[in-house]
Structure 1
Amino acid sequence: MAILKPFAAVRPRKDIAHKVAALPYDVMNSEEAREIVGDNEYSFLHVDKAEIDLDRNINIYDKIVYEKARNNLYEMINRGVLAKDNKKCLYIYRLIMDGIEQTGIVGCASIDDYLNNEIKKHEHTREEKEQDRINHVDICDANTGPIFLTYKYNNEINGIIKSWTEKEAIYDFLAEDNIRHMVWIIDDEHIICNICNIFKNIDSVYIADGHHRSASAVKVGLKRRKENPNYTGEEEFNFFLSVLFPHSDLRIMDYNRIVKDLNGLSTEEYMFRVSEKFNVNIYEGDEPYKPSCKHTYGMYLGGKWYELTAKKGTYDPCNLVDRLDASILQNNLLKPILGIEDPRTDNRVDFVGGIRGLKELELRIDNQKDGAAFSMYPTDIEDLMLIADAGEVMPPKSTWFEPKLRSGLFIHTLR
């Protein structure tokens, strides 16, 4: 059973929605955000990355940054850049990338569903990253970025979406990265009730992306409950902003690895140790090696690409986590050979989303003149759901979802 709740979204005027909508805060650093925003006064990065409007020397986790975010948000509301709908609705959000559509329902999920594991997770979170978004949500008094949830395809929901999207979209724009964004408002109370009832009969929903944002939203909700001991459970702080997509729509891209050095090994020593666990072949193609199936990897080393294939015995095929490509590489190469004990915290390893292309791996390794890069085969959405169902956790940086949901198209206020 999954609770889906309509809400009155704070959202941009139609004529400037394309200027407001911004990439998520966590796919860029502060300098990149400043460059992206330029002279765009409407960009939602003024809220999600408010340090761009402060001195460059300020600590991005200073309270003044969150206060600036709140001030920017409510200034946008006061100026009429953003306005709150006058009734509770659900919304449809469609993204089109390279001709492939991804269409979800925008509403609010329940913090109790998260706590009771009706909303299933597949990643650990880090306390410092949680605290950042706790401060942001609490001080802004709003969920400013949607959590990316998924559910197993449902024919009834698909039929409703198909019928409703025959209407004219309230937003329809092409972003600078050539991704088309479309939004419809579902304001018919009968249809809203029908959708919510269908979700009550869906066993589970899954966090695809946004573990830190969801954990933070839940902790803010629990904080508000403590502050309001007579709460009923219907207050807005009991729910958090989400977009729910059918799993069949989702596109997971490769999430590649770069290691800064060979852990003190010579190239010969390193290659010998790698060959103990992987079949290694020189790749003669003109383009970087892109794996075409599970348990194969590209390795860029010394100006050459190699094809690696995991040998028998390097993983347990019956173990959901152990058989993941990210686990196989970590357990048989990154940790024992290159000394990467914890990829979450080790600064010798970096991760590059597949959207940047494999030439980025070559560039990075050529520039640092040491180390190795690894191209990965994308994780299956079915593997993600199986692991979440089993209560297991995937290795860090196992999934890179594209296209990215834009922030600023929907804001959920907590009161």
Structure 2
Amino acid sequence: MPKILPFKAVRPTRDKVSLLASRSYESYTAEERESRLRDNPFSFLQILNPGFKYQKEISGAQRYELVRNRYQEFKEDEIFMQDDLPCYYFYKIVNRDGDEFRGIVAAASAEDYEKNRIKKHEATIEYRENTFKNYLETVGFNAEAVLLTYPNNPAIEKIIASVMSTRAEYEFTTTYRDTHYLWNISDPEIVNKLKTHFAEIDAVYIADGHHRSSSSALLADDKKQQNKNHTGEETYNYFMSFLIPESDLKIYEFNRLVNGLNGLSKEEFLIQLDAQYRIENRSTAYYKPSKKHHFSMYLDGEFYSLYLRKNNYEITNALDALDTQILYTTILKPILGIDDVRNDTRIGYADGKKDLVYIKSLVDQGTYTVGFGMLPVTTQEMKEIADQGLIMPPKSTYIEPKLRSGVTIYEF
């Protein structure tokens, strides 16, 4: 029974939203960031990269303080405004491929995260958790929502459809040719219905944003300890989330690339693979697997299909059945010697939006020696992992939609 509540978002004025909204900071190349910072004074990147004003790289606590200063300047210049009443923010994205994502931006409870009513499937790194917690504590806001998913719910869907049949508060198209729509809804009848419908759901699942949610939970605990008059209703007890139904979630695979064969020749490597896989040489024909537990492999100018020999592999839980785990258990660790897939510099990743041509090019140019392709994780697999309290290997999913930063901002 998670608490999913409306909140008073800080957001750009209607005439500035298309200029201000930005992708996540890390998704830009250095050249792209430079261009946007130079040419667009309203970009949210101006807040995230405050050192640009002084043509200097600034990091750590000093950067956090300058981010806060730049954010306050945007508010003082009335680039931002804040809603007078708590709202649910209905959000729709139609991407350039024609995919449509519809959901609700709202405040999710840090207590629900701690009590596993918001379920996880991915491990977090303590250093990153604490770094982002310190950032949030200094700047006092969060501009990038955690992506949560919930079981399809006809009652919630009916409300979403009704709201989205009306004129949106925002409608803007990005240079990526994705079109974004936002409706800010404070109507008491709709708000109360949504609160009730969300409270009737047993649990929601983190699709993307494990570090953001864990950092928010750490911050909430710190603030609770510092506040002698803590009630549980303070804004720091919640974090901004974008909730979408499971049917709207789009999951891509993360393919693996490895530099070197751990001292093995090509022939020795193939012989060791043969113990776990039926191998077929596909020559130069592009091959993408069509079934779970099947993999594609590109090595030395040729594609191979790898079919798991199931009599040699035991599945006892949802994690054992996950293709990224199978690849790690049968190839990456025992044959290629990659024990720590999170930190080993020999392994690289390519999300499924990049095709086999991309993997082939990285191997052909010598950046990597071998590439492995697989099918995406399904929503059901992701939920089973979370329900069983298990953790996927890193980079198991690349999930859409991706919200723009700065369209709705949650202040603590």
Paired residues for 1:86-235 under 5 Å: 86-97=84-95, 98-235=97-234
Matched to 1:5, the amino acid is L
Contact 1:30 1:49 in 2 (8 A): no
What does residue 3 of structure 1 align with?
3
Counterpart of 1:78, as a letter, is E
Q: Distance in 2 between matches of 1:409 and 1:385?
A: 29
SS in 1 for 2:353: helix
Q: Measured at CA, do residues 279 and 129 of structure 1 come closer, stay the same or move farther in structure 2, by a change above 3 Å?
A: same
Shift of 1:367: 2.3
Shift in alpha-carbon separation, 1:251–1:231, aligned structure 2, 3 A: same
> Hey, what's the Cα distance between the residues in 2 that align with 1:99 and 1:369?
34
Instruction: Quickly say closer, same or farther: Cα 1:220–1:31, change in 2 above 3 A.
Output: farther
Aligned counterparts, 1:10-409, within 5 A: 10-28=10-28, 33-34=33-34, 37-50=37-50, 58=58, 60=59, 62-97=60-95, 98-284=97-283, 286=285, 288-368=286-366, 370-409=368-407
Q: 1:381 and 1:52 mapped to 2: Cα distance?
A: 40
> Secondary structure, in 3 states, of the residue corresponding to 1:336?
coil
Any idea what the Cα deviations from partners look like across 1:147-198, whole Å, max 9, x if unmatched? 0001111000000000110001112222222222111111211101110111
Question: Bigger CA drift: 44-53 or 111-120?
Answer: 44-53
**1:138–1:196 CA distance, 2 compared to 1 (3 A):** same
In structure 1, list runs of 5 or more residues that go unmatched.
none
- 1:12: Cα distance to partner? 1.1
What SS class does the counterpart of residue 123 from structure 2 fall into? coil
Deviation at 1:93, TM superposition (A): 1.1
What CA RMSD, in Å, does the superposition of the two structures yield over aligned residues? 1.9
Q: CA deviation at 1:230?
A: 1.0
Which shows bigger deviation, 272-281 or 309-318? 309-318
Q: Structure 1 residues 231 and 157 mapped into 2: Cα distance closer, same or farther (>3 Å)? A: same
Deviates more, 1:6-15 or 1:153-162: 6-15
Cα pair distance change 1:313/1:25, threshold 3 Å: farther
**Amino acid in the other structure paired with 1:70:** R
Alpha-carbon distance, 1:265 to partner:
1.1
Question: Is the CA contact 2:296–2:303 (under 8 Å) kept in the aligned structure 1?
Answer: yes
Q: Tell me, in whole angstroms, the C-alpha distance in 2 between the residues paired with 1:48 and 1:282.
A: 49
Unaligned stretches of 5+ residues in structure 2 = none
Deviation at 1:326, TM superposition (A): 0.1
- Return structure 1 stretches of 4+ with deviation > 6 angstroms: none
Shift of 1:357: 2.8
CA contact (8 A) 1:30 1:51 kept: no
- SS of residue in 2 equivalent to 1:15: coil
Q: Read off the aligned partner of 1:40 and give its amino acid letter.
A: N
Aligned partner of 1:76: which letter? F
SS at match of 1:41: coil
CA separation in 2, counterparts of 1:271 and 1:376? 18
User: Which stretch shifts more, 405-414 or 62-71?
Assistant: 62-71
**8 Å Cα contact 1:5/1:108 also seen in 2:** yes
Q: CA deviation at 1:119?
A: 0.5
The count of aligned residue pairs is 411
CA distance in 1, matches of 2:212, 2:27: 13
Residue identity matched to 2:377: T
Letter in 1 for 2:337: G
Q: Distance in 1 between matches of 2:249 and 2:337?
A: 34
1:331, 1:119 → 2: CA distance? 28
CA distance in 1, matches of 2:126, 2:291: 35
Whole-angstrom distance in 2 between the partners of 1:370 and 1:331: 20
Contact preservation (8 Å) 2:288, 2:373: yes
